[in-house]
Amino acid sequence: EKVSVVGLGYIGLPTAAVIASRGIEVIGIDVSEKAVNTINQGKVHIVEPDLDMVVQAAVNVGKLRATLTPEPAQAFMIAVPTPFKDGHKPDLSYIQSAAKAIAPVLEKGNLVILESTSPVGATEQLAEWLAEYRADLTFPQQVGEDADIQVAHCPERVLPGRVLEELVSNDRIIGGMTKRCSERATALYKTFVRGECITTNSRTAEMAKLTENSFRDVNIAFANELSVISDELKINVWELIALANRHPRVNILSPGPGVGGHCIAVDPWFIVDSAPESARMIRTAREINDGKPDYVIQQVSKAADEFKRPVIACLGLAFKADIDDLRESPALDITAKLADMNIGEILAVEPNIHELPPKLLDKAISLVSLKDALDKANVLVVLVDHKQFKAMTSADINSKVVVDTRGLFSNK
Ligand code: SAJ
Whether 81 is covered by a domain: the verdict is yes
Rounded Cα distance, 40 and 36, in Å? 6
Whether 307 is covered by a domain: the verdict is yes
Report pLDDT for 143: 52
The angle formed by the CA atoms of residues 117, 123 and 125, to the nearest 5 degrees, is 120
Question: Which CATH number belongs to the domain containing residue 377 in this structure?
Answer: 3.40.50.720
Which residue of the set 63, 154, 181, 209 is catalytic? 209
pTM: 0.93
Give the residue from 210, 237, 269 where a domain finishes: 210
Ligand 1 near 220 CB (within 6 A): yes
pLDDT 10s digit of each residue in the chain, 412 long?
899 999 999 899 999 999 999 999 999 999 999 999 999 999 998 878 899 999 999 999 999 999 999 999 999 999 999 998 888 899 999 999 999 999 999 998 999 999 999 999 999 999 999 988 986 655 445 455 556 899 999 999 999 889 999 999 999 999 999 999 999 999 999 999 999 999 999 999 999 999 999 999 999 999 999 999 999 999 999 999 999 999 999 999 999 999 999 899 999 999 999 999 999 999 999 999 999 999 999 999 999 999 999 999 999 999 999 888 898 999 999 999 999 999 999 999 999 999 999 999 999 999 999 999 999 999 999 999 999 999 999 899 989 999 999 999 876 4
Question: Is the CB of residue 377 less than 8 Å from the CB of residue 352?
Answer: no
Rounded Cα distance, 60 and 350, in Å? 37
Question: 153-179 burial by CB neighbour count: b if 16+ within 10 A, else e?
Answer: bbbbbbebeebbebbeebebbbbbbbe
Question: Is the CB of residue 366 less than 8 Å from the CB of residue 312?
Answer: no
193 and 322 housed in the same domain: no
Q: Considering its fold, how many domains does the chain have in total?
A: 2
Q: Is the dihedral of CA 274, 277, 279, 282 positive or negative?
A: positive
Least Cα distance to 10 among 205, 126, 162, 185 occurs for: 162
Whether 237 is covered by a domain: the verdict is no
Cα Rg of the chain, angstroms: 24
302 and 360 housed in the same domain: yes
Whether 245 is covered by a domain: the verdict is no
Question: Is the CB of residue 215 less than 8 Å from the CB of residue 182?
Answer: no
195 and 140 housed in the same domain: yes
Q: Strand, coil or helix: what is 149?
A: coil
Alpha helices in 51-121, H assignment, sequence order: 51-60, 93-102
Give distance in angstroms: CA of 119 to centre of ligand 1.
19
Report pLDDT for 339: 97
Least Cα distance to 124 among 220, 210, 205, 197 occurs for: 205
Ligand 1 near 256 CB (within 6 A): yes
- In this structure, which residue's CA is closest to atom 10 in ligand 1? 320
Residue 45: partners with Cβ closer than 8 Å, 6 or more residues away: 32, 34, 35, 38, 39
Ligand 1 near 407 CB (within 6 A): no
Rounded Cα distance, 153 and 117, in Å? 9
Whether 357 is covered by a domain: the verdict is yes
397 and 320 housed in the same domain: yes
| Residues spanned by the domain of 79 | 2-210
Least Cα distance to 42 among 65, 20, 19 occurs for: 65
37 and 110 housed in the same domain: yes
281 and 163 housed in the same domain: no
Whether 248 is covered by a domain: the verdict is no
Report pLDDT for 139: 45
206 and 267 housed in the same domain: no
Which residue of the set 154, 181, 263, 314 is catalytic? 263
130 and 262 housed in the same domain: no
50 and 183 housed in the same domain: yes
Report pLDDT for 39: 98
Rounded Cα distance, 51 and 146, in Å? 39
Pocket test for ligand 1, best of 47, 48, 226, 264 (most atoms within 8 A of CB): 264
279 and 355 housed in the same domain: yes
Whether 377 is covered by a domain: the verdict is yes
Whether 219 is covered by a domain: the verdict is no
53 and 124 housed in the same domain: yes
Report pLDDT for 243: 97
203 and 287 housed in the same domain: no
Report pLDDT for 279: 98
User: Which is the closest atom of ligand 1 to the Cα of 216?
Assistant: 31
